[in-house]
Amino acid sequence: MATPIKVVVAGALGRVGREMMYGLSADPDVDLVGGADPVAAEDYFDLPGGGGLVPLARSVEALFSRVRPRVMVDFTTAEAALANARAAIRAGVSPVIGTTGLSPANIEEIGRLAHEAQLGAVIAPNFAIGANLMMYFARIASRYLSAAEIIELHHAGKADAPSGTAYSTAKMMREARGEPFDRQETKKLTLDDVRGGDVDGIRIHSVRLPGLVAHQEVIFGGQGQTLIIRHDSYGRDSFVPGVLLAVKEVVNRSELVYGLDKIMGLGDG
């Protein structure tokens, strides 16, 4: 039997981070050895159901020297995720990052650092397996239907808009189509920004409400027909299976992989 992969979670006390702590600790191929969060007031995280105590620290650097993990899972903020990734790679720890809001320059830097260290890394706009299938199907549909809009719906506390998933979906669709989408101009707007943001002819609309978690619709229009591809995450535990896929694969890589679809083997659609 293979030795379990030693993993720590950055952002362990956040909404997603807690789900990662619970979900990763339940997998026999993973050894959850710690969590980090700047608001940590205790030295240990008490897993539910008598799962035991997991070391806690306020910084990933302190955690790395304390428990010596192989992989760091990060669900923090864009600023913290970049700093955490730098520290992880310096320590020989592979980052698996689900934090959104990283700029292209941030992603390029993490890729360069991983390449120089010959260390695997994963960044994914969305770790829900169903969401990645939604994006894959949208890429396929983009070759056949020339008009599309995206509606993404998230909880009221989400910091960025549009979501990283929606923006990535639009860019993937544009690449798959090979040309901008048909954009119908509205002649009269009685409310500013009512038509949403625009990515090469694809309008993106962001909804932020209490009660939501993470949801997205890609709506295609064609002659006499529409196609709607929708994915719903009803709980943050929906990200756990995808993160586990990434954790188990990143240790076999020596470079940055962007997107869970690459690990799922979905190809270009």
Tokens of 266: 């979905």
Phi and psi (nearest 5°) for 44? -140, 150
Which amino acid is it at 81?
A
Please name which of 19, 17, 10, 24 lies closest in space to residue 59, comparing C-alpha atoms: 10
DSSP secondary structure code for residue 2 in this structure: P
CA 59, chain centre distance (Å): 21
Q: Write out the catalytic residue numbers.
A: 154, 158
The position carrying tokens 């994006």 is 135
Residues 57-80: b if buried by 16+ CB within 10 A, e if exposed:
bebbbebbeebebbbbbbbbbbeb
Q: Tell me how far the alpha carbon of residue 262 is from its chain's centroid.
A: 13
Q: Which of 145, 144, 133 is nearest to 169 (CA)?
A: 133
Name 243's Cβ contacts closer than 8 Å, sequence gap at least 6.
20, 23, 24, 73, 96, 98, 127
